[in-house]
Amino acid sequence: MTSDTRIPPAEITGIRGTLLKTMARRMTGRVPDSLGVLWHHRGLMMDTMGIGRKVEGWKELDPTLASYAAMAAAATIGCSFCLDYNYFMAHNHGLDEAKVREVPRWREASVFSPLERRVMEYAEAASQTPPAVTDELSDELLADLGPAALVELAGRVAFMNMSARMNVALGIHSEEFADACGLAPLATRSPVEIASPA
């Protein structure tokens, strides 16, 4: 695979490299170019992956809502890698593919419940610079989800922001995981102006 990342992928070597490649093949069927880019700074890569594993261990927020939130944040930031990877993982976890593929255009799609829409609105608002989460939206989600799940939602969106912004800055793009397993293409995000809180 030819990479168009801003930093050429390094060759992944050694015992840790072999383990990393084995894990990647088990999860995605191949070794993504993005791992070679991050291999240039192994400490950062391992720490980021460790945080990601811990984030996946959080269980206060419904996993479907967590997937929608991560993808809505990735769409807001413009991380095609994150969208593609999360769509692929949602498929692997048995989520409703027809709904997941619509996350990038959730505002126009008719498949989401009011709660799912509020979660994606929160993820989008929290991904703005500066964050644009309103008291009203936060209060609604606190009533819907409870405090632990709302804290987890904020944490998951924050982690996706870190990952997505790093990927975009490094020129890491979609590696077409979803295409490789025959998933329908993700819906294209419609240009939307997001209102800032008054």
- pLDDT given at position 89: 86
Give pLDDT tens digits for 142-196: 999 999 999 999 999 999 999 999 999 999 999 888 776 666 677 777 665 555 5
Please enumerate in sequence order all residues whose Cβ is within 8 A of that of 7, keeping only pairs 6 or more positions apart, or say none.
Answer: 37, 40, 170, 171
Mean pLDDT, residues 7-21 taken together: 96
Judge whether 169 and 78 are in contact, CB under 8 Å.
Answer: no
- Residue pLDDT, tens place only, 102-147: 999 999 999 999 999 999 999 999 999 999 999 999 999 999 999 9
pLDDT on residue 1: 43
pLDDT on residue 2: 47
Q: Is the pTM of this model over 0.85?
A: yes
Query: In this model, does residue 60 exceed pLDDT 70?
Result: yes
Note the pLDDT of residue 5. Answer: 94
Neighbours of 63 (CB within 10 A): 14
Task: Classify domain 59-180 by CATH number.
Answer: 1.20.1290.10
Q: What is the reported pLDDT for 6? A: 96
- pLDDT above 90 covers what percent of the chain? 76
pLDDT score recorded for residue 191: 65
CB 153 within 8 A of CB 142: no
Count of positions (residues) in the chain: 198
Average pLDDT rounded to a whole number, residues 81-88:
90
For residues 126 and 170, what is the distance between their CA atoms, to the nearest angstrom?
22
Tokens of 9: 């992928």
What pLDDT score does 160 carry?
Answer: 98
Tell me, rounded to whole angstroms, the distance of Cα 154 from its chain centroid: 13
Residue ranges of the domains in the chain?
A: 8-57, 59-180
Confidence at residue 3, expressed as pLDDT on a 0 to 100 scale = 63
> What is the widest separation between alpha-carbon atoms in the chain?
54
